[in-house]
Structure 1
């Protein structure tokens, strides 16, 4: 029997009901419906495993839901083109296309996000879900195997026992693992254990706290507020402005409304919730009625929403086959069983939150991106191993989310939700593959990891050290041509800025070394040019270097020996194009299909102007300290010109096996001067039988989620397109797509087609003048 709130298409699960009790059998049971658990369950079900997802709240999403409203963060917050893809990307792209609400940092998530997830769950074959269901017990079959979990469905007086072959603990607190007898850690390892730079000298039970968010509304007229007597009494400006708690936006949010220690984040969560509520009201009272810096700004603002489900950062961490330490993200450890990646900084909040002397380190330093703390905390993108998601003490248990096998210090970066969503998809995929082959979970990293990784890539994910090598992908055997291709001539400066003679942005000043990545395709580079302004009254010298780099996240200032160096002579004046005749070829070490980085060293009198728009795959960074660079303020393209122009967007890039800029652009892009439609063609020497076609388009990669507007559809993404096959002497349409905005699209034909030529014809994009594709696969 199937509950009315479950997906009725999950036929075949064994069910018994009596006196408010029910028993069901699945292949995989995922406990916890935050982003990690949700992605794990959807991935497992998509790969054929009968899957049940159990969530103790009325909505999916965990901390990202409309109940908590924490904006999902990930690698793209710090690294250009590092946006997480796969299931999480499908969800976020869909939410932005549907939602009228802008995404502010925190507190603004509405129910459109909840329903986007609910809709995907309803449409996923093989997936059953139970909301409002708390896990109460775990029943074992021997010491090392879970037989079932027992949950209670709130408001239904229903106890449900779920049997499965594989269980996935995504509860955050590690409830299933704890009940099953797994070893877990909670608190901070001492520095002597793993010599982690961020670890305290002595081990302790300290954990990061939980936050409660709020949102306000501008009413357009004065909105008085009187705090209740039980609200926190806050009267000291130093508590805010000298301790990293800046009430700088009247719309609300404020992740720093955080409390943990001395309360226990699991057993005393209700006490924490109450204290956070007291402080939300007290903080708003300070902003509205006491703070001379904010009273006028907040005069017309009224509280519109206060959360009552704290967003928890840390509790139990379950010990797995491998324990990640902070050395792994800092040193970008290459794992053979890499199944996901991260790129948030090592963000360890001060234990106690509002009750501590200062807020989280970066905030208390005013988010100085060049401080010693930020230099040592900046990391990634780095890989995450499958072994950290497989429990070492129970044979059929995996973890995804903030409870995976990491130290407290490593959790500072691994815990953010976009990263945990990637881990969740990998875990669900691995579980389904293990069941399909009859493998023990512990054997998957050694015996099935290549299948796991290739499957993740095919499903739209990205891995740092794996490319598409799918032997079944017929496209890899094809030759590729296109109707046209764009060339990279550089990035010009906005004409109106040049006419004004004013700086476009203060970040253009060379207060520190800055670098611009340039994709090299020709093996020849005769000249590079930059557009600069000398703000002084005297001639200035700027040292310039051209350095070969391994990829777009190669932030080493001296990554490799420079191919060329010079001193640019810059006279006083605005918006001058300065030429550098470098005369480089392959004989000098210039390699086709790679990036070089053009660096201008520090001179605060010189501004290196940004270009007009973003040239795909050509990004920039600046030196933060200690020989390390980081992404520049929002990942623009600096002004530059190259001679000869570089063919950086050739059609054969759709077979590179990589679906974003990384070691090269990996993108086919049509010539913007040629009108649409534009086409890309695959041609084989022999006839192929093709049933399935999979496309990966550009878009929604450059920035993280909250960088995108309401109803956003990325202009680079093809909107209307056709897939055609050459048969019987002419092109025949196989399918036509209208109004697309998703990045990863998969189509199964009603019948296989026999052809030697296949093409994708792009009739319209969502705004960009060029057609573009990252990958085409055929099966």
Structure 2
């Protein structure tokens, strides 16, 4: 299909999905020479990345080009086997198992097994969902195919076949939200569903999409007065023939998730994944409808009523939507899970469904190991499932590392040095490119309340400064507040009791540092080890400038309306200075139980002024026998996967490092790694080490002057 994964990081800083999907994303970027663009651009390196992981997974049997055609049951509530046919090999397979997982998208296995399912749109009266239509219908989101064009370096004519759709009205595109981002590839809005059935009419949909794709290319090449000049040297290189399907059957599970859950960030005791895409419901009919999906139709206005209603803070996803209601040994993952049509708008994107896949597989493994039915897992062993997911590199907003087998949790941590946070200004740059600002120089007027997250590492903040420009010619007064926030996605713009408030006086002039003597101390509810947020309120004649560098874990947002905020630009750091400098990258952060910036920075970073090598050490009060060391490094979290260039290796990620154990009065190297680019590494020692001290020595990074570690775990085996 040539569609790259989207997920929570499209809208939230530090929200990239981790676990198996992260290993794949990092491996693909490190190996691929091609840039990432939107739909249609992806090359076959992605296929090879997936295939390589499958081939290298011990014990995995996989059957390509194979379709499940029926199921065999034991009684009413269990599947004994699935029957499948391998295309082109005249092979029929009967696959027996204890637990089956329907990841077909269309819910084909659940349907054949007799589990209840839904298809279409619920009416607003059923669950009171703001995005639901007034009346229920069979309407679903449609399917898309894509194309890619190639610059031939000389004029290339194009004549569409007579059966292609003919387009000639510019209003169909420019006034109805169908944007031409570029001419090399695209577009998601080449979409058709209603009135056709997205399952039974799939081949008809494919043909119709082909007719429309060729007609749109004909419009670009031959009729649009601007585009035809840009496209003069381009020729069609590829046209997809596998429709990308957004919606069909949704299998009813042990819980039915509605849009109230992601919108309200429901806290689930069986949380096993998370999402963060907006409630993205495409207009039924696609190209046959009067407009494209609503946010596109209104020009992606970030503060409109629809945008406010649709924006979702990262939210938890429960295991129960992946447990079939009527079949005891059937699970599901993907877009066919137990959600309403409206909720599907946010959980259906590929990076989110990848997390659900790993979560469901992990729950199945735990159930098998304990001899449980999958339906018993939420009540019997959720802690074990959640802790295993964290150990395997996943992130859960509501769960911390509490793994009793993790020996590192009983250790104390120290380091050769630790970085301080001074702040950053417009002139700042990230050495080595570890974080770099991508915003263009442009007006940054305070048209809305804007906030900067600041990690607190002491029990005092004597002063804060911000870099402002006043373009009015007269003194401007800007209201400022400092509030406690729960985490970096605490987007509440109201309801906080300010720790401090003032009005800043800003004289006319450009890029001036305005200082607020806050005098905040612990007695005033200032707490080390958490975030505060510095908010400047609306002042349309004043600019608050972005920093030229991103301070790790220090993100920003602005008020979009409805009492909530959203990421400001790419979520980078606004210009600020803090006094005294904050020690918020201590060694103990690697044992915080969270392996990314969230409720705190949760990363150790060495002093960038100190040369490498730098080390982080664990020490126990008594010797421990250690057979496995798991390391999580920073990187690949701040921005969405689409922001990373070809052959990308994150500068923050350690490139060369050693693991050393203390024995016989000296350090012994037990693991030596060179040319690393993955952010999570599992090291099984050749022989277990019994020691009371272990340290990780970072010899070189991908370019960042600071060594950094987000998490260390140690296990006997």
Alpha carbons 1:247, 1:287 under 8 Å: kept: no
Q: Which residue of 2 aligns with 1:171?
A: 104
Deviation at 1:133, TM superposition (A): 0.6
Pairs within 5 Å for 1:516-531: 516-531=452-467
Task: Report how far residue 271 of structure 1 moved.
Answer: 0.6
Q: 1:396 aligns with which of 314, 329, 333?
A: 329
2:233 maps to 1:300: yes
Task: Tell me, yes or no, if the aligned pair for 2:4 and 2:39 is still in contact at 8 Å.
Answer: yes
- Per-residue CA deviation, residues 27-51 of structure 1 (Å, 9 max, x unaligned), is xxxxxxxxxxxxxxxxxxxxxxxxx
**Secondary structure, aligned partner of 2:351:** helix
**Residue of 741, 751, 759 corresponding to 2:695:** 759
CA contact (8 A) 2:464 2:517 kept: yes
2:351 is aligned with 1:418: yes
The C-alpha deviation readout for 1:712-762, integer Å capped at 9, x for no partner, is 000000000000001011000001000111111001112111111100000
- Looking at structure 2, the residues matched to 635 and 221 of structure 1 have their Cα atoms a distance apart, in angstroms, of 41
Once residues 180 and 162 of structure 2 are traced to their aligned partners in structure 1, the CA distance between those partners, rounded to angstroms, is: 22
Which sections of structure 2, spanning at least 5 residues, go unmatched? Answer: 430-438
Alignment of 1:322-721 (within 5 A): 322-494=255-427, 505-506=441-442, 508-721=444-657
SS at structure 1 position matched to 2:553: coil
- Could you say which residue in structure 1 is the equivalent of 2:114? 181
- 1:492 to partner: Cα distance: 2.1
Q: Quick one: distance in 1 between partners of 2:444 and 2:609?
A: 30
Q: Aligned partners of 2:307 and 2:211: how far apart in 1?
A: 32
User: 3-state SS of the aligned residue for 2:110?
Assistant: helix
Q: Deviations over 1:538-566 (max 9, x none)?
A: 22121111111110000000252111111
- 1:286 aligned partner: 219
600-609 vs 342-351, greater mean Cα deviation: 600-609
- Asked if structure 2 preserves the Cα contact closer than 8 Å seen for 1:549 and 1:559, the reply is no
Q: Is the 8 A contact 1:173 1:266 kept in 2?
A: yes
SS at match of 2:358: helix
> In 2, Cα distance between the equivalents of 1:247 and 1:692?
51
Tell whether 2:87 aligns with 1:157.
no
**CA distance, structure 2, for counterparts of residue 315 and residue 207 of structure 1:** 7
1:633 is displaced (CA, Å) by 1.0
2:23 aligned residue (90, 98, 101): 90
Q: 60, 67, 76: which one pairs with 1:134?
A: 67
Aligned to 1:272, the other structure's residue is in SS state: helix
Q: Say which of 27, 42, 48 aligns to 1:109.
A: 42
Q: Which residue of 1 aligns with 2:435?
A: none
Aligned to 1:776: 712
Q: What does the per-residue CA deviation read over 1:289-340, in whole Å, with 9 as the maximum and x for residues that have no partner? A: 1111312111122211110001000000000000000000000000000000
Q: CA deviation at 1:135?
A: 0.8
Q: Does the Cα contact within 8 Å between 2:428 and 2:549 map onto a contact in 1?
A: no
Look up the match of 1:252. Answer: 185
Give me the whole-angstrom Cα distance separating, in 2, the residues matched to 1:507 and 1:116. 41
Provide the C-alpha distance between the structure 1 equivalents of 2:296 and 2:557, rounded to a whole number of angstroms: 22
Shift of 1:220: 2.2
> Following the alignment from structure 2 to structure 1, what is the Cα–Cα distance between the partners of residues 39 and 468?
37
Contact 1:547-1:558 within 8 A present in 2 as well: no
Match of 2:472, SS? Answer: coil
How far apart are 1:667 and its partner, in Å?
0.6
Where 1:128 maps in the other structure, the secondary structure is: coil
User: CA separation in 2, counterparts of 1:347 and 1:290?
Assistant: 31
Partners of 1:389 and 1:492 lie apart in 2 by 47
Q: Secondary structure at the match of 2:255?
A: coil
CA separation in 2, counterparts of 1:222 and 1:542? 56
Instruction: Mark the CA change 1:495 to 1:324 in structure 2 (over 3 Å): closer, same or farther.
Output: closer
How far apart are the structure 2 equivalents of 1:468 and 1:597?
A: 26
1:240 aligns with 2:240: no
| Cα distance in 1, alignment partners of residues 74 and 243 from structure 2 | 35
- CA displacement 1:426-466 (0-9 Å, x = unmatched): 00011011000000111001101000000000000000111
* CA shift in 2, pair 1:97/1:507, >3 Å: farther
* Structure 2 match to 1:737: 673
Contact 2:545 2:574 in 1 (8 A): yes
Distance, in Å, in 1 between the alignment partners of 2:535 and 2:154 is 51
Tell me the distance in 1 between the aligned counterparts of 2:643 and 2:361: 29
1:519–1:664 Cα contact (<8 Å) kept? yes
Contact 2:455 2:601 in 1 (8 A): yes
Q: 1:190 is matched with which residue: 105, 123, 132?
A: 123
Tell me how far apart the structure 2 counterparts of residues 284 and 537 of structure 1 sit (CA, whole Å).
51
The question of whether the paired residues in 2 share the 8 Å contact of 1:547 and 1:559 is answered with: no
- How far the C-alpha of 1:240 sits from its partner, in A, is 0.3
Q: Which residue in 2 is equivalent to 1:75?
A: 8
Contact residue 690 and residue 752 of structure 1 kept, 8 A: yes
* Unmatched tracts of structure 1, length 5 or more: 1-67, 497-502
| 1:506 shift after superposition | 2.9
Instruction: Tell whether the 8 Å contact from 2:466 to 2:515 is kept in structure 1 after alignment.
Output: yes
Deviations along 1:625-664, one digit per CA (max 9) or x if unpaired, are: 1111001111110000000110010000111000000110
- Cα 1:751/1:248, change in 2 over 3 Å: closer
Please give the residue correspondences for 1:14-33 in structure 2 after superposition, counting only pairs within 5 Å: none
**Contact 2:38–2:185 at 8 Å: present in 1 too?**
no
Greater alpha carbon shift after TM alignment, 532-541 vs 386-395: 532-541
TM-score (normalised: structure 2): 0.98
Secondary structure of residue in 2 paired with 1:644? strand
- Residues in 1 aligned to 2:241 and 2:556: alpha-carbon distance in whole angstroms: 41
* 2:246 matched residue in structure 1: 313
TM-score (norm 1): 0.90
| CA positional deviation for 1:536 | 2.1
CA–CA distance in structure 1, aligned partners of residues 121 and 550 of structure 2:
42
DSSP 3-state at the match of 1:617 = coil
Asked if 1 retains the 8 angstrom alpha-carbon contact of 2:18 and 2:394, the reply is yes
1:507 shift after superposition = 5.5
Contact 1:390 1:397 in 2 (8 A): yes
SS at match of 1:129: coil
Cα displacement (A) at 1:342: 0.2
**Residues 386 and 399 in structure 2, CA contact (< 8 A), matched pair in contact too:** yes
Tell me how far apart the structure 2 counterparts of residues 444 and 559 of structure 1 sit (CA, whole Å).
37
Q: How many residues align?
A: 706
Find the aligned partners of 2:60 and 2:4 in 1 and give their Cα distance: 26
Conserved? CA contact 1:383–1:464, under 8 Å: yes
Q: Which moved more, 1:193-202 or 1:529-538?
A: 529-538
Root-mean-square deviation over aligned CA pairs: 1.0
